[in-house]
Chains A and B, each alone.
Chain A
């Protein structure tokens, strides 16, 4: 691994000069953060990362923020000890930039995208070359939340699309999941909802732009409300739009987790990448108005978060 970093090759123009100015040859190798600071989510991620590193008990390597578009043709003077990509586009750019292998941590990336970009799973016992902190929530966490909020045994309905299909096997094994439908075509959305909603007492929405997007939000929320089947969404804006509640991780929370991971690697001194992981920190937003209208009384958001936290054990 060390060898591969020493062979790192970057034909850079602008970045090179920046790096030369900023890093004298004796400086410690930096951590690269490939992100678009103008993107609101990336900006929050960087805030979360910096806050977390600022609290670290050990000296942390310097951070270099690099835009995805600046990657191609970069030849760093100081080779990074770790590359953190933020978002799918950064991960794709990084892969396509044709750079020498480097230790990579991909963040704010859907599990499906990561697995498509890196189809060969690695064994991380000795530390792999790439890993990820997914954007998706683990299914077990969503199922636990469903059990907490419903007055009766969950009969969860799930609509899967092209990308969320990777969760199918896991969902099929869960006794809480009563209905699973995979959409292959736009025309199937409403018939699938019509079939799924009457038989479910919760619609679990998993992020997948082929199913859950701006164009489908009306059909999904209006029909689910018509059947009085609440929706467990995946973002704050889905809860605002009319989902009963959403469980999600903010970019800041994923930034924090990334910072803690870097700190752990520095502390161990081994720079071993762990296996890809789901977000450790998460938030819950309840739409109180929808809950009231459906006659459901839900605990406070903080209370729900700590209940789930408690079930997941110590961090």
Chain B
């Protein structure tokens, strides 16, 4: 953790550097012609601008700041309940999972997750560690969710969907804030944020400590300290440099007394990352960006040990270290009025060290990945747009793969569009699936090892072909927005396990997921907003486990009300029909969940304090992901103070 003192020292230095400046020019001189005729950098360049909903080539859901706040979500994974067709679950208090129309286990292994363009899907174990991110809910400005595969833009593992999280730009906030959350289930969160700017340099930083007791009757408390820093520097009018760094470290309890493979234990996790991005804007529609980042993850835990299951393994230390280094170049331009082009390439190195999982003969597993991608948008008529993209990837595990995508959008009326799209994506098997050779020494077995999991080393990538037909409509004023889609996804070579001790990873099944889903947004007045998500789907497969993993219906309704100048109220209602999670999960009966949030602001604008009361799950207790987990009512009080 040598990096942490540095991470903590940098914001302090920036505070000192910028504290003597102010964001507004404070010149007593009379304004001159330069108050109009001055040069500015391009702020909203092509990468920052979203395509209008009517013309997007894929079905997308945007979770904006207002929705994030109103949802009452305390953790990031909870936000995805609002996305049509998405299900979330918790294997324990620190292992959360997000999936789309089922097919999910505790690892979110079929979902790509990016934070400001940096993938946080871990290569070694093939999962998204939602509790090990360096950011919290309050750092997020908006989330874009692609509902469906999109490897042509995001590469392999953009399989069931892509979650792209955007944090606040360093210049979008100013000053400091302290936020304290306390509530049931031992929830304690403390967060401090500070942002400032000095001329061309701006930065923001936040640091949090958080912890909770997890589910009742479970050994799953967690404690984390996390922090992040973002600095943006404008070098002249056309170049900008962005630096990000962050860390998260803490302990997470896990395990059961009656499960010899999941002995009660405490995992000590440590992650950090660094990112540097240079962007050159030739003009608003022509830009070049180069980014480099690394992710580091380390976990130490002891597997085995006494349980009351009758079988015992000798406690064995099981450290895991994962590193990722990634370099990416992207070029966007507009060769003609009706054309837009994005192309680029990247190189990546993933390394995993986990001697217990891969055998002492393989102290370090690694994978090189090279990508070349291109996306063309052609709009021959204002009403008609074609979008084609392709990604070519070459990696050490499965060789060279292609992921194409084609979409057509046609506006049948100025504000009503239909969309048809066809795309193919892949998921490269994780090191764990392909290469695991996990054995534990049996207690009293005279050195005998019990084989637990075995990867064949020859797994093929999973593949998905997605077909979508969509209808999108929006009123000019934005009062109503509606999206409806019919989809049919064919998945092949899905990786599962067969056998018992060892469990063998194999490309076992195929499946077809099909259904209809939609979202509706209504703003009856400037002070009220409703967002409805509804999805109905089913999976057909020779594997009944996959069929049952998809709930037939998922509903979410968010209601937001601004009452007077001082009060905000909101509710978030979800209903998920019966489903059976894969992996460690169980049959989860149909449930309903209602969250409420009421907030009041105090003090004058700019120096406002806020008190919020959030109640999670006002309705009955329900089974969450596995038999042992019961989600009950929980209340939190949040206090935010300006610094």
The answer to whether A241 touches B44, judged by C-beta atoms less than 8 angstroms apart, is yes
Chain A stretch 185-217: residues in CB contact (< 8 A) with chain B: 185-192, 195, 198-199, 207-217
* A209 to B, closest residue via Cβ: B35
Chain A stretch 165-188: residues in CB contact (< 8 A) with chain B: 183, 185-188
What residues of B have a CB within 8 angstroms of the CB of A295 in the complex? 52-54, 474, 476, 478
A33 to chain B, nearest CB (A): 14
Contacts A89-B32, A112-B31, A209-B27 known; A293 to B171 CB distance under 8 Å?
no
Name which of A198, A199, A209, A221 has the most chain B CB atoms within 10 A of its CB: A209
The answer to whether B171 touches A210, judged by C-beta atoms less than 8 angstroms apart, is no
Contacts A226-B141, A226-B172 known; A192 to B64 CB distance under 8 Å?
no
Contacts A108-B33, A186-B22 known; A191 to B608 CB distance under 8 Å?
yes
* A153 to B, closest residue via Cβ: B477
In the complex, whether A300 has a CB less than 8 A from a CB of chain B is: no
Name which of B25, B65, B232 has the most chain A CB atoms within 10 A of its CB: B25
Q: State the CA gap A237–B281 with chains docked (Å).
A: 14
Q: State the CA gap A314–B185 with chains docked (Å).
A: 73
What residues of A have a CB within 8 angstroms of the CB of B41 in the complex? 214, 217, 241
Q: State the CA gap A174–B199 with chains docked (Å).
A: 35
The answer to whether A241 touches B42, judged by C-beta atoms less than 8 angstroms apart, is yes
The answer to whether A289 touches B477, judged by C-beta atoms less than 8 angstroms apart, is no
Query: Which single member of B38, B474, B607 contacts A235 (CB below 8 Å)?
Result: B38
The answer to whether A213 touches B36, judged by C-beta atoms less than 8 angstroms apart, is no
Q: State the CA gap A66–B42 with chains docked (Å).
A: 36
The answer to whether A216 touches B48, judged by C-beta atoms less than 8 angstroms apart, is no
The answer to whether A189 touches B284, judged by C-beta atoms less than 8 angstroms apart, is no
What residues of B have a CB within 8 angstroms of the CB of A140 in the complex? none
Query: Which single member of B49, B414, B608 contacts A293 (CB below 8 Å)?
Result: B49
Q: Which size class do B's interface residues fall under?
A: 35 or more
* B198 to A, closest residue via Cβ: A215
The answer to whether A234 touches B36, judged by C-beta atoms less than 8 angstroms apart, is yes
**B interface: dominant SS:** loop
Q: State the CA gap A151–B475 with chains docked (Å).
A: 10
The answer to whether B31 touches A207, judged by C-beta atoms less than 8 angstroms apart, is yes
The answer to whether B284 touches A289, judged by C-beta atoms less than 8 angstroms apart, is yes
What residues of A have a CB within 8 angstroms of the CB of B43 in the complex? 217-218, 221-222, 241-242
The answer to whether A186 touches B35, judged by C-beta atoms less than 8 angstroms apart, is no
In the complex, whether A315 has a CB less than 8 A from a CB of chain B is: no
* A295 to B, closest residue via Cβ: B52
In the complex, whether A281 has a CB less than 8 A from a CB of chain B is: no
The answer to whether A116 touches B30, judged by C-beta atoms less than 8 angstroms apart, is yes
In the complex, whether A135 has a CB less than 8 A from a CB of chain B is: yes
In the complex, whether B50 has a CB less than 8 A from a CB of chain A is: yes
The answer to whether A289 touches B285, judged by C-beta atoms less than 8 angstroms apart, is yes
Contacts A195-B605, A218-B202, A241-B43 known; A186 to B24 CB distance under 8 Å?
yes
Q: State the CA gap A256–B257 with chains docked (Å).
A: 87
Query: Which single member of B38, B202, B477 contacts A152 (CB below 8 Å)?
Result: B477
* A181 to B, closest residue via Cβ: B605
B466 to chain A, nearest CB (A): 25
What residues of B have a CB within 8 angstroms of the CB of A208 in the complex? 31, 35
Chain A stretch 272-315: residues in CB contact (< 8 A) with chain B: 287, 289-290, 292-295, 297
The answer to whether A293 touches B605, judged by C-beta atoms less than 8 angstroms apart, is no
The answer to whether B35 touches A110, judged by C-beta atoms less than 8 angstroms apart, is yes
Query: Which single member of A40, A155, A213 contacts B25 (CB below 8 Å)?
Result: A213
Bits for B401-433, please: 1 = Cβ < 8 Å to A, else 0.
000000000000010000000000000000000
Q: State the CA gap A192–B606 with chains docked (Å).
A: 7
Q: State the CA gap A153–B40 with chains docked (Å).
A: 30
Name which of B26, B34, B44 has the most chain A CB atoms within 10 A of its CB: B44
In the complex, whether B173 has a CB less than 8 A from a CB of chain A is: yes
Bits for B471-484, please: 1 = Cβ < 8 Å to A, else 0.
00010111000000
In the complex, whether B51 has a CB less than 8 A from a CB of chain A is: yes
Bits for A214-247, please: 1 = Cβ < 8 Å to B, else 0.
1111110111011010000011011011100000
- A–B complex contacts, Cβ < 8 Å, 24 sampled: A88-B30, A109-B33, A112-B31, A113-B31, A113-B32, A135-B33, A183-B24, A186-B174, A188-B605, A191-B606, A195-B605, A208-B31, A209-B25, A210-B26, A213-B38, A214-B39, A214-B200, A215-B24, A215-B199, A216-B24, A217-B43, A228-B478, A237-B39, A292-B52
Q: Which residues of B come within 8 Å of A, CB atoms?
A: 22-27, 30-46, 48-54, 64-66, 141-142, 169, 171-175, 197, 199-200, 202, 232, 234, 283-285, 414, 474, 476-478, 526, 605-608
Q: Which residues of A come within 8 Å of B, CB atoms?
A: 40-41, 87-89, 92, 108-110, 112-113, 116-117, 135, 151-152, 155, 161, 163, 183, 185-192, 195, 198-199, 207-219, 221-223, 225-226, 228, 234-235, 237-238, 240-242, 248, 251, 287, 289-290, 292-295, 297
